[in-house]
Amino acid sequence: MITKFWINYNYHWILILVYLNSISSVKDAYDYYRSNPSSIPSFLPVPMNITVHEGETAHLRCRIHNLGPKFVVWRKADDESPLTLGKTTFTPDEDIEVEIEIINPSDEENEESRYDLIIKNVSKDQEGTYACQISATNNYTFNITLNVLDPIKYSPEVELTGTEYVSLMEDIRLVCNATGALKAPDSVDWFFNGEPISEMKPEWFGRILQLNRKPIPGRSLISELVIKRVTMGDRGHYVCRLTKKLAQGFKVHILNDKKNHKEPKRDMETDGESLPTDNDPSDAMASRGKNDARALTLSNSLCFQTALSIVTLFWKICAS
């Protein structure tokens, strides 16, 4: 009853607006067409049959050349109530709107007015013929037929990915991509070793984070589960469930590599050449032999100098 009253109430106002616009439009049109006698409005070719599936968006295009000061009305052919009048929408359906664009307004030959009726989330009862009308003494109407097919049936799907091997005190990140049959799911359920994951449980409190987002447009829900500061008790089987019959599991392994963690050994280098190490016995023996030879040479030199000094001193004594 309220909807019917709203429509009737607005329809009377529409008639008033049309009348007021007509008074102005008649004078404007008279002046316009008197100065431009050959400028008669005409419809440009566009598809006259549009077919969409239920739930999709229908685009009904109306292209007009030489529209001038007149206005455009969209309505369903079997209904006197207009859906749009100019750029104003006269329907309680929020999924219906009009898109207006003026192309080449200063070019008389290529000027084009575009009035496209957009119907989002189209339903079966919106199927039929729609009329794009120009307000004028003569009847300028362009009809477009909208065909609505049954909705496309998709199979719901679940895909679960993430890090299979995680070290102690690091984070587990699992991503569940859930796709609905007709639209994106509202939520998914997470399980660990057969039990629901809930932050209310002591083992999960303050450690889990669940992020949900829906790519637009699409039928997918992407749910990301993050478990912080993992322990050995977090290893096991994780499950993302879309419905009671559709779920996917993922096994996570926790690596206890903190206890035996050591810094890797690094080779020492000087001036781009490696220093000798004691790993090779032959190298060590060669080095030791060189050192012994140096020591023997030094010892022989000292002995020779000492003997020379003694001979020199003895010679001086004898000479005196």
Q: What's the domain range around 240? A: 157-255
CATH number for the domain spanning 240: value is 2.60.40.10
* Residues 57-73: tens digit of each pLDDT: 999 999 999 888 888 99
Q: Looking at per-residue confidence, does 34 or 2 come out higher?
A: 34
Q: Do residues 221 and 186 lie in contact, with contact meaning Cβ atoms separated by under 8 Å?
A: yes
pLDDT confidence of residue 13: 47
Q: How far is CA 203 from CA 189, 197, 232, 250, 293, in A?
A: 18, 10, 12, 20, 72
pLDDT at 30 > cutoff 90? no
Give the mean pLDDT of 32-52: 77
pLDDT confidence of residue 110: 84
**Distant-in-sequence contacts of 201-205, Cβ < 8 A, 24+ apart:** 203/233
Q: Do residues 147 and 51 lie in contact, with contact meaning Cβ atoms separated by under 8 Å?
A: yes
* Residues 119-153: tens digit of each pLDDT: 999 999 999 999 999 987 677 899 999 999 998 88
Where does the pLDDT of residue 80 fall: very low under 50, low under 70, confident under 90, or very high at 90 and above? confident
Tell which residue, 73, 53, 62, 60, has the closest CA to residue 121. 53
**161 and 136 belong to one structural domain:** no
pLDDT confidence of residue 273: 41
pLDDT at 172 > cutoff 80? yes
| Residue that finishes a domain, picked among 208, 231, 255 | 255
Q: Do residues 255 and 235 lie in contact, with contact meaning Cβ atoms separated by under 8 Å?
A: no
pLDDT confidence of residue 135: 82
pLDDT confidence of residue 12: 47
| Residue that finishes a domain, picked among 202, 232, 255 | 255
pLDDT at 310 > cutoff 90? no
pLDDT confidence of residue 218: 81
Q: CA-CA distance, 299 to 166, in Å (whole number)?
A: 66
Residue whose pair of structure tokens reads 């104003």 in the numeric block: 88
Q: Count structural domains, the chain.
A: 2
* Residues 225-277: tens digit of each pLDDT: 999 999 999 999 999 999 988 999 999 999 987 654 444 444 444 344 443 44
Strand partners, 119: 58, 96
At 121, give phi and psi (nearest 5°): 50, 55
Strand partners, 238: 192, 250
**45 and 123 belong to one structural domain:** yes
